[in-house]
Structure 1
Amino acid sequence: MNPLLFRLLPALLLPLLLTGCWDRVEIQDRLFVMAVAIDKAKPDKGKRNYYEFTAQFTEARALSGKVSNPHISPVWNATTRGPSVFECIRLMATRVARQPYYEHLQVIIIGEDLAREGIDHALDLFYRDHESRRKIKLVIAKDTAKRALQLKPKLMPVSGQYIAKLTEEGESKTARLPNTTSIGQFSSNYHSGSNSILPSITTHTNEVKMAGGAIVKGEKLVGWLTDQDVKTLRWINGSFSAGDEVIMKNPAGETPGYTTMEVKAVRSTVHPEIRDGKPVFSVFIRGEGNLAEDGLMHKPTGEKIKAREQLMNKSLKAKTEALIRKMQTQYRTDIFGFGEELRRHRYAYWKAHKKDWDRLFQNAEVRVEVQTYIRRIGQFK
């Protein structure tokens, strides 16, 4: 045999062994799942339902306007009930003619009743499934989750995409939403023994309001934070979004009555100590920003700016201490990561007392110091 042909023979035979894309599904034949709502099913005599699972499907061709048939809806919801999320998904085959595709899933909404019983098991499938991503948004509804997917927003045809976009915009443009917004972040918190604050959503007629947070102790919903509480929390943990604001009430008699600072940077450190066998935490918060609406009658002076900084320090310190006290007395839940700081810096004490941390947190002493600086006052003409 020709030596050259002998060397080329494997290359000629190799393509015969390739299978090609024998199991491919064309994009126009896929049903994309954009959002999922999971609620606790209502008791149904004789049935073993626990979950009510709602998936929001999009028809790619109809959504793009390439299908002229008016009877084909670009977006619709389908609901199934079952004892597990996996079975609910499989039951979709009895209602949907094509295989749902979950790789583009953007948000999972959990209903309030289910969240109070625990959300980790409901998310277990999404942790494990190869089509799921850890960055899927996770939201807790102040009602049923299904209702949030039924609304018809005016700016976007897909309500699930609209809700996911709200979490992204809220996280980057305002501090009124917590910075734990994905199933991956929640899973890391839960399995490391930490608590979470997740975005909360309230449904209205044609829109939703996403502000404030759901207090999740372990995996169970125990209460709610207002949007102002969440802003204070993000000052404490140093994750305050650049571009958000702090509004201070001016001294009596001054007009206008408020001064607004646009926040540009926040840094926070927590220093744990053990005194007389009890944990003591010193929280140091540093922030800076620019004057957005001066409230200084267009006559800014160094003394007036310093006075506004002191006013802001006093206001933020009061809000911080109030939130810490609220979590210690009303919810008895450490959402600030104080336990984690104790584990990092006072490990021997943490190892001996970690099982009793909830009780210790309620009685822990927390000292707060706030320093803010107004860097620029802008210009006026």
Structure 2
Amino acid sequence: MIKVSKLCLVVLLTVWITTGCWNLKEPDQLAFSLGAGLDLLEDGQLQLSSQIVIPSGMGGQEGSIGKKNKTFRVVSATGRNVYDAVPNIQLQLPRSLFIGQRRIILIGQRLAEHGIDDLFDEFIRNPQSEMRSRIYVVKDADAKDILAATPIFESYSSTELVDKQEAIGLKSYYFRNFLSDALRPSLQPILPALSLSASKQTVYSGSAIFNKNDGLKLIGFLNTQEAAYANWITGRQKRLVVTSFVKRGQGTVSLKLHTLDRRIRVKIVNHEIKIEVRLKGKGTLVENNSNLNPTKENDLRIIQVELSRITQKSVQQLIEKVQKQYKTDIFGFGESVHRHYPSQWKALKKNWYATFPGLDVKVKVELQCSDPGEANSSIKIIP
């Protein structure tokens, strides 16, 4: 109940600052929305879904049959635009809808493929809007389905999604960051993607790629490993696990990287742009199924060199895939060219998205094992 009191106090102060004393509403007069979901229905209508807090379910109270009370309810309505749907949601609620505590914004795949460049005016213009909301694309499902999913640990699926982003090693990425990326002249934005498992649990499923030159339309997805490498290049990844088969050790090795660094170098030689991506990672050896002993200097060197080589190859393949298949600069190479060669950039920026697919990009990866773990050689059961 202490947490509930603190939440009410924060909300009360927020409402006072936002609206002024003359229009002050008590917390028990408000319906707090923790998440918004946007979907395009098959008939072309926009559907807005809102995850509404049920105060009676807070604090782990139990019902008469021993089951926990529901902590939230998902309410949906349609409209011609975002705010046109809000009154239709309000008609279903006995309290005034309040979005100042919104934590997540979800975009369904059908809507993302249709284009979202004219979708966010209400989110920016509304003074109640929370610009630090996390934003995701829902793959192979509707945003409403993700909002309604039953969380495993938290009381609200919106809160659990925020925690999930931290747990998988992603840096915080807010709605305001997405807007900034969408407005940068030479960068195409990518968003985390979510999907539903067979058991109806929310699963992180990589990244969604957008093309802002064509109405901010979704043009494809990166899988979880590709997304991790892309986020590493752009500085949005905090932690990463690399697992590879080490041929000279005849087994697999897993390295948990807890320090990631990246550097993008640009050179223009004979009017040709050359990009060098340098990635460095340092971490702990968490599994060794090879015949190598990481406490021996030579064996450790073999592991580091092999993991670096294989990771380098994977990152190189990712960049080439994005160049050939999606033809969109999600890595910010244009931004690097702009910083290094501002004069030349004036001529390059007009046709950058025609230039990007043919860029000469080289990748260099250097991985270090700072801790071999709690064992020396591989632990194998000998019959």
Q: Establish whether TM, by shorter chain, passes 0.5.
A: yes
CA apart distance, 1:156: 3.1
Output the TM-score relative to the length of structure 1.
0.84
SS in 1 for 2:120: helix
Per the alignment, do residues 232 and 68 of structure 1 end up closer, same or farther by CA in structure 2, a change over 3 Å counting? Answer: closer
Structure 1, residues 168-204: CA drift from partner, whole Å, max 9, x if none? 333xxx3xx5x47321110000112321221101113
List aligned pairs for 1:125-136, cutoff 5 A: 125-136=122-133
SS of match in other structure, 1:132: coil
* Structure 1 residue ranges, 4+ long, deviating more than 4 angstroms after superposition: 65-70
**Which of 182, 191, 198 lines up with 1:198 in the alignment?**
191
Please give the residue correspondences for 1:31-42 in structure 2 after superposition, counting only pairs within 5 Å: 31-42=31-42
Matched residue, 2:143? 145
Q: Give the CA deviation at 1:22.
A: 4.7
User: How many equivalent residue pairs?
Assistant: 347
For 2:89, give the aligned amino acid. Answer: M
SS at match of 1:120: coil
Change (3 A) 1:355 1:169: same
Match of 1:371 among 366, 371, 374: 366
Say whether residues 1:245 and 2:228 are aligned partners. no
Matched, 1:104 2:75: no
- The one-letter code sitting in structure 2 at the alignment partner of 1:133 is E
Q: Which amino acid aligns with 1:210?
A: Y
1:111-133 CA deviation, whole Å, 9 max, x = no partner? 11111122232222112222222
Aligned to 2:118, the other structure's residue is in SS state helix
CA distance in 2, matches of 1:378, 1:37: 43
Query: What is the aligned counterpart of 1:123 among 105, 120, 127?
Result: 120
Structure 2 runs not aligned, ≥5 long: 1-19, 377-383
Q: Give the aligned partner of residue 216 of structure 1.
A: 210
Cα gap change, 1:129/1:168 in structure 2, threshold over 3 Å: closer, same or farther? Answer: farther
Asked if 1 retains the 8 angstrom alpha-carbon contact of 2:166 and 2:172, the reply is: no
- Give the conservation status (yes or no) of the 8 Å contact 1:245–1:262: yes
The one-letter amino acid paired with 1:36 is: A
Percent of aligned pairs sharing the same letter: 24
Find out whether 1:57 has 2:52 as its counterpart: yes
One-letter code of the match for 1:250? Answer: V
Structure 1 residues 148 and 332: alpha-carbon distance in aligned structure 2, compared to 1, 3 A threshold? same
In the alignment, the residues of structure 2 paired with residue 35 and residue 162 of structure 1 have an alpha-carbon distance, to the nearest angstrom, of 11
Other-structure match for 1:339: 334
Structure 1: which 5+ residue stretches go unaligned?
Answer: 1-19, 44-48
Who is 1:307 aligned against?
302
Question: 2:113 corresponds to which letter in structure 1?
Answer: R
Contact kept, 8 Å, 2:193 with 2:206, in 1: the verdict is yes
Q: In structure 2, what is the equivalent of residue 355 of structure 1?
A: 350
Q: Is the alpha carbon distance of 1:281 and 1:75 closer, same or farther for their aligned partners in structure 2, counting shifts above 3 Å?
A: same
Native 8 Å contact 1:153 1:206 kept in 2: no
Equivalent in the alignment of 1:182: 174
For normalisation by structure 2, the TM-score amounts to 0.83
Q: Summarize deviations over 1:82-141 as a string: whole Å, max 9, x none.
A: 111011112223222211111111101001111112223222211222222221010100
Compare CA radii of gyration and give the structure with the larger one.
1
Cα distance in 2 for residues equivalent to 1:154 and 1:374: 34
- How far apart are residue 296 of structure 1 and its match? 5.3
Relative to structure 1, the CA distance from residue 319 to residue 66 in structure 2 (aligned partners, 3 Å threshold; closer, same or farther) is closer
Closer, same or farther: CA 325–190 of 1 in aligned 2, 3 Å: same
Distance 1:363 1:351 in 2: 19
Aligned mates of 1:135, 1:167 — CA distance in 2: 14
Q: CA RMSD in A?
A: 2.4
Aligned pair in 2 of structure 1 residues 159, 265: CA closer, same or farther (>3 Å)?
closer
Amino acid at match of 2:177: Q
SS at match of 1:314: helix
CA distance in 2 between partners of 1:292 and 1:65 (Å): 37
Change in CA separation of 1:184 and 1:238 when aligned onto 2, cut-off 3 Å: closer
**Aligned equivalents of 2:342 and 2:228: distance in 1?**
30
Which of residues 147, 159, 162 in structure 1 aligns to 2:160? 162
